[in-house]
Amino acid sequence: MGQEVLKQIQASNDLSVCCGVDKNISGNYDFPVYADIQDVKEQPNVIIDFSVPAASIEVLIFAATHHIPSVIATTGFSDEQLNIIEDYSKEVPIFRSSSMSYEINIMSDIVAKLAVLLKDADIEIVETHHNNKIDSPSGTALLLADSINAALDNKMYYEYNRHSKREKRNPKEIGIHSIRGGTTVGSHSVLFFGENESFEITHNVESRSVFAKGAMKAAGFIVNQKNGLYSMKDLI
């Protein structure tokens, strides 16, 4: 994703890269690349972070120290880490989204409305990603589940391990299933099962440029905001 963000920024007239951070530095660039963000000497207007949760926290420490608005596009945070992000948002503007896809966030609104209209349906979420993705389920799958659950007054719970159960499906559960394989960028389906009929809505990502462009839009948005925690809903 770092390479894709770089590629999209280089093709843009609105943004430029002043430096990069990568603990496994490789390649030649026309800007400095540091192994540790604390070594950065430049003063960027905004930080775009696609990394892993532990690294994102280090990014926020640097961002808060230098008061640099930040876009956190990393997923897989623990509840404790999410609380840390919220605390740092009191010191610096932070944009965080489980998906940088504009369309996924529209899908999130659509499935929430469908859940209310199809209140007796059994709801299942299936997500597919490449074999290098670390977190499971995906942040986007949880984004969709949370949107549905909020629309249903948070009365639902998430079932990840149905293989270990020997009982019929609870009508209050949202099943979440993860598939990993090949080079699939990302696919998410929400399925509503009623009596003798079903309804399915699916979103497919065919290029990582979708997420890079979304992060760039978020960067243009967050630099003009006051301290606080923002999401794709604010951008939309």
Torsion of Cα atoms, 73 then 229 then 231 then 211, to 10°: -20
**Catalytic-residue membership of 163:** no
CATH topology of domain 2-96+209-235: Rossmann fold (3.40.50)
Query: pLDDT (tens digit, 9 = 90+) per residue, 142-172?
Result: 999 999 999 999 999 999 978 888 889 999 9
pLDDT the model gives residue 88: 96
Q: Do domains 2-96+209-235 and 102-205 have the same CATH topology?
A: no
Which residue in 129, 188, 203, 213 is the catalytic one? 129
Banded model confidence at residue 99, pLDDT cuts 50, 70, 90: confident
**Domain range list for the chain:** 2-96+209-235, 102-205
pLDDT the model gives residue 135: 86
**Average pLDDT for residues 106-112, to the nearest whole number?**
94
Write the DSSP assignment of the chain as a string of letters: -HHHHHHHHHT-SS-----EE-SS--S--SS-EESSGGG--S--S-EEE-S-HHHHHHHHHHHHHHT--EEE------HHHHHHHHHHTTTSEEEE-S---HHHHHHHHHHHHHHHHTTTSEEEEEEEE-TT--SSS-HHHHHHHHHHHHHTTT--EEE--GGG--SPPPTTEEEEEEEE-TT--EEEEEEEE-SS-EEEEEEEE--THHHHHHHHHHHHHHTTSPSEEE-HHHH-
Banded model confidence at residue 24, pLDDT cuts 50, 70, 90: confident
Give this prediction's pTM: 0.76
Which residue in 41, 90, 113, 133 is the catalytic one? 133
CATH topology of domain 102-205: Dihydrodipicolinate Reductase; domain 2 (3.30.360)
**Average pLDDT for residues 25-54, to the nearest whole number?**
92
**Catalytic-residue membership of 129:** yes
